[in-house]
A and B are shown apart, each in its own frame.
Chain A
């Protein structure tokens, strides 16, 4: 029997939370990917660059998490076990480079939930968007992720 998910979560806006971009986290993230670009890892290259410091790799904003609004919280709201999910799609719009020391505000929202039948049976697609803004309230990045739930 397929499981039921709580589709009333559609439209839910999670409480905004702040993250502070850490220099070491940027470097650990780049190294974990195996991306040794000096613009991410070498402080002197960063300082001499147009960005004035090392910058974060394009997918780094995926680390902007908070216990009150992370995937675990979303799964609890949906009533779904973590073993059932797959990452379907992910997009980042990046309006400017992200550098260490910045404090950014993240506002996640579940924008859509829909169900479809695929090769491996019935599935639900949960679309989550997170707007990331800076201290001047300017948009820095927008994340859009689709989580697939095997029902």
Chain B
């Protein structure tokens, strides 16, 4: 169930996070520009992006990172992410189908804090990775 509370005991190394699929279109890039304050015309103006040698408009890296972060919080819950870092590997074009994926790398518990490290990536419809990264989430325990 989406947004179900996840406890540290429920998570095992190797578990896959549920896939999150996104299909960004121009209006989403425009909306993200307004919400984030990143008005770089390279994400809005096809002629500008072509003149800059980028072959046309592409999505904000931060929008794709937002998708990836959502795949973590859909699974672990809002407010659980302690650290998230990504490397932008490829451009996201309009109407690409982006699938965010993840896998549990490790678990640790210390002084009542239960941390889980996950590997993250997002790929397009051709299977090319556009983002890779990692996150650390802090999960509640059934015992405390």
CA distance A144 to B87 in the complex (A): 12
Contact with A along B72-100 (1 / 0, CB 8 A): 11100111011111111000000000000
Interface size class of B (residues with CB under 8 A): 35 or more
Interface size class of A (residues with CB under 8 A): 35 or more
CA distance A59 to B81 in the complex (A): 10
The segment out of A6-14, A27-35, A109-117 that lies at the interface is A27-35
A118 to chain B, nearest CB (A): 12
Asked if B66 and A63 sit within 8 Å, CB to CB, the answer is no
Main SS at interface, chain A = mixed
Asked if A25 and B3 sit within 8 Å, CB to CB, the answer is no
Asked if B83 and A93 sit within 8 Å, CB to CB, the answer is yes
Q: Is B105 interfacial (CB 8 A cutoff)?
A: no
Q: Is B51 interfacial (CB 8 A cutoff)?
A: yes
A46 to chain B, nearest CB (A): 9
A92 to chain B, nearest CB (A): 5
Q: Is B4 interfacial (CB 8 A cutoff)?
A: no
Q: Is A62 interfacial (CB 8 A cutoff)?
A: yes
Asked if B61 and A87 sit within 8 Å, CB to CB, the answer is yes
- 10 tightest CB-CB pairs across the interface, nearest first? A91-B85, A83-B52, A39-B78, A87-B61, A32-B35, A33-B66, A35-B70, A58-B69, A58-B81, A32-B31
Contacts from B to A (Cβ < 8 Å): 3, 22, 28, 31-32, 34-38, 40-42, 48, 51-54, 60-63, 65-67, 69-70, 72-74, 77-79, 81-88
